[in-house]
């Protein structure tokens, strides 16, 4: 069963139809939208600051999502795919973005909508990636603008595929994909 823990009384919150793999870890101030998937050996650590995740986001095997204490939050938009072993740290990722396998996104970076960060790329602290582009390398630099067919053929396709993959596990376990929620806290107690 996944490790889902509160930090200083704040428990992660999940939208509808989310899949969290049995060995994933999600802790603290994490709020996730609908139709998300957190895959095997992934860590989403909202312990030192908040993490906000939109709808239809997949965070693939071994990825780490974290922040910096009292400095940077992590915000992830809708229809985002974060590849295997990627690190997303204290940054903002807008809608319809593909973060490649093993990529690193550092504090205060901002990734514009309809963008791809290539596998293994390192987006340095404070970097602004304009929407509709592909960035790669160390440090990440613009490779080219993205044509519409790549947005549909790669970014949207991968987000939709992971929604489909997560359904396999719900069916196999005959259980809802949404992790258990903490009971409501009685403010009068």
- 3-173: CATH superfamily: Hexapeptide repeat proteins (2.160.10.10)
**pLDDT tens column, 89-145:** 999 999 999 999 999 999 999 999 999 999 999 999 999 999 999 999 999 999 999
Domain boundaries, the chain: 3-173
Residue 185, pLDDT > 70, answer no
Q: What is the mean pLDDT of the chain?
A: 92
User: What's the pTM value of the predicted model, to 2 decimals?
Assistant: 0.90
Alpha helices in 30-180 (DSSP H): 148-150, 157-173
User: Edge-to-edge strands of the sheet including 97-99?
Assistant: 19-20, 37-38, 58-59, 81-82, 97-99, 115-117, 133-136, 141-145
Interval 13-34 mean pLDDT: 96
């Amino acid at each position: 069963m996944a490790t889902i823990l509160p930090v200083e009384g704040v428990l992660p919150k999940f939208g509808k139809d989310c899949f969290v793999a049995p060995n994933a870890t999600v802790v603290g101030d994490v709020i996730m939208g609908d139709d998300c998937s957190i895959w095997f050996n992934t860590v989403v650590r909202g312990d030192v600051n908040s993490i906000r995740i939109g709808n239809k986001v997949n965070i693939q095997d071994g990825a780490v999502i974290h922040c910096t204490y009292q400095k940077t939050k992590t915000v992830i938009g809708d229809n985002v795919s974060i590849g295997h072993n990627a690190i997303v740290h204290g940054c903002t990722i807008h809608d319809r973005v593909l973060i490649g396998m093993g990529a690193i996104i550092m504090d205060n970076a901002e990734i514009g909508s309809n963008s791809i960060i290539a596998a293994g790329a390192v987006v340095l602290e404070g970097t602004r990636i304009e929407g509709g582009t592909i960035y790669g390398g160390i440090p990440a630099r613009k490779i080219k603008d993205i044509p519409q067919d790549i947005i549909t053929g790669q970014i949207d396709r991968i987000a939709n595929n992971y929604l489909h993959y997560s359904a396999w596990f719900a069916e196999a376990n005959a259980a809802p994909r949404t992790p258990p929620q903490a009971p409501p806290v009685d403010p009068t107690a």
